[in-house]
Structure 1
Amino acid sequence: MISDGSFRLDGKLALVTGASRGIGYHLAKELAGRGAHVIAVARTVGGLEELDDEITKAGGSATLVPLDLTDLPAIDRLGGSIHERWGKLDIMIANAGVLGTISPIGHVEAKVFDKLMTVNVSSVWRLIRTTDPLLKLSDAGRALLLSSSVAHSARAYWAPYAASKAAVEVFARSWAEETKQTKLRVHSVDPGATRTAMRAQAVPGEDPETLPTPAEVAAKIALLCDPAIDETGKLYKVQSGKLLSYNNPS
């Protein structure tokens, strides 16, 4: 079941990582526009402040958390701070990620590989660990982990990034199995090719005008936050302006 988009999130609390730009920025705006109070997490303070201005201007509210996801203990502390201040969490979107380098696997520098795995894998696990008990206290907890189609294709020169996203999808599927008897619903989402800085870095010769904007993609991903959706453990992708589900790879 995919939402018709008519839902509201008044009184809900949503955490979004990578919220200072791109898809994360627009996911934060989208959820705030539906009434959620957004905890916006990112390294870039300027981008977070711009987001806060936009959300406030539209009548919404946000709490800004300048945080580098390579600081793993800080992620643990974030969960404790949320519990102390709000007592629960309704939505968690693990959006932040880095591309690393597109190159033969044997040419990837160790420091590049280690940072990619820290941000794309270890920080997501830390987020899951610190938000799981908070999301279970919600009457309709939602967790979305952003993935990529390269997790399934094993494309040449993309090995570290593809491996990191494959790990994220397994996290989501296992977490969904563990929590299917609760009210928490967990999914992974492939946003597809989007007009972002990361996409430009990955495919520099591509015409960005041929790609959907981050705002358009975020509006589709946000549909998975509908409190009425009861499915869990699904893989979704944004394609041709639609949010589509597809079978888990065996």
Structure 2
Amino acid sequence: MHDSFDFNDRTVLVTGGARGIGLELSRQLAAKGAHVIAVGRDAASLDALAKQLHGSVTIQQVDPGTSASAEALSQWVAETRPQCSALINNAAIMHHTDLTVDSQARLDAMSAEIAVNLTAPLQLSVDAAGAVGSSLLGRRQRHLRLAIAPKREAAVYCASKAALRSFTRSLRDQCRAAKLPIQLTEAVMTLVDTTLSRAGPLRKYPPALAAADLIAGIERGLDEIWIEKTKLLRIVHRISPELAYCIMRDR
């Protein structure tokens, strides 16, 4: 655990910052006195956020699924917002794909998920860590979704998040070994009421509460934030990984 983290007067980059959990993160961070750089693909959502938060947000339309987009975003931040001192990797997509069916659509969906969920966060994170020497990002946050037990219908999504979880731990160890003043926090997210997952009978956690829990954990300087039902999943997984897998498989 690090020292407490204060968002007041900080500039925070939030990917996927105009929809779902990201929208609530942008709203709540602005309420805490932060200036938010909200990145997203949907221009209408970004424009609506800009009108809502007025001078507390800068919007930037970026498609993380395209080549070189993360690199271009890092360069833009370095050149135009050098005061940026926090990154929350929130953007993600999930395709409910049957991998046993051979089709070009399946391959395209796999490539898109890996680009958005893994490649872009990795590049942004490495660029942010490397920029410490030039004072771009003094301390940094990571936002990681559920990667403990995979869902049957979201194989690529779960694989990308498991890889991101492993990467986060390794990068955290490297930063600490180098004695860099960087905080890396991963959030293990519960099932939240957004368009990312399919509608169903299970109760979904409100995005506003998920965002509040995430921000509170970062402010406390936690390495890991287990949100809502994932606290129980963590215990179950420790006792029986197979039971945790069975619980999550068809969720």
3-state SS, counterpart of residue 116 of structure 1: helix
- How high is the sequence identity, in percent, across the aligned residues? 24
User: Post-superposition shift, 1:141?
Assistant: 0.8
3-state SS, counterpart of residue 173 of structure 2: helix
- Within a 5 Å distance, the mapping from 1:96-245 to structure 2 comes to 96-103=91-98, 105-107=99-101, 109-134=106-131, 137=135, 141-148=139-146, 151-180=147-176, 181-199=179-197, 201=198, 204-206=199-201, 210-226=203-219, 229=221, 234-239=223-228
Q: Which of 66, 88, 94 lines up with 1:93 in the alignment?
A: 88
| C-alpha distance in 2 between matches for 1:90 and 1:2 | 16
Deviation sequence 1:20-47 (CA, Å, 0-9, x none): 2100111111111111111100011111
Name the structure 1 match of 2:246: none
Contact 1:15 1:92 in 2 (8 A): yes
Q: Which runs of 5+ in 1 are unaligned?
A: none
- Return closer, same or farther for 1:191/1:82 CA change in 2, 3 Å cut-off: same
Greater fraction of residues in strand: 1
Question: Given the two structures, how large is their TM-score scaled by the length of structure 1?
Answer: 0.81
| C-alpha distance in 1 between matches for 2:233 and 2:31 | 25
| C-alpha distance in 2 between matches for 1:244 and 1:55 | 36
User: Post-superposition shift, 1:224?
Assistant: 3.4
User: Post-superposition shift, 1:2?
Assistant: 9.6
Contact 1:96 1:119 in 2 (8 A): yes
Q: Which runs of 5+ in 2 are unaligned?
A: 242-251
3-state SS, counterpart of residue 184 of structure 2: strand
Deviation sequence 1:126-161 (CA, Å, 0-9, x none): 21132223456378512213221xx22234333211
What is the aligned residue count? 232
- Return closer, same or farther for 1:129/1:26 CA change in 2, 3 Å cut-off: same
- Return closer, same or farther for 1:32/1:3 CA change in 2, 3 Å cut-off: farther
Query: Over aligned residue pairs, what C-alpha RMSD do you find?
Result: 3.0
- Return closer, same or farther for 1:135/1:102 CA change in 2, 3 Å cut-off: farther
Name the structure 1 match of 2:23: 25
3-state SS, counterpart of residue 143 of structure 2: strand
User: Which shifted more, 135-144 or 212-221?
Assistant: 135-144
| C-alpha distance in 1 between matches for 2:25 and 2:233 | 19
User: Post-superposition shift, 1:183?
Assistant: 1.1
Question: Given the two structures, how large is their TM-score scaled by the length of structure 2?
Answer: 0.81
Contact 1:235 1:246 in 2 (8 A): no
Deviation sequence 1:41-89 (CA, Å, 0-9, x none): 0011111111122222xxx511100010112313212212222223243
3-state SS, counterpart of residue 14 of structure 1: strand
Contact 2:185 2:218 in 1 (8 A): no
| C-alpha distance in 1 between matches for 2:63 and 2:101 | 26
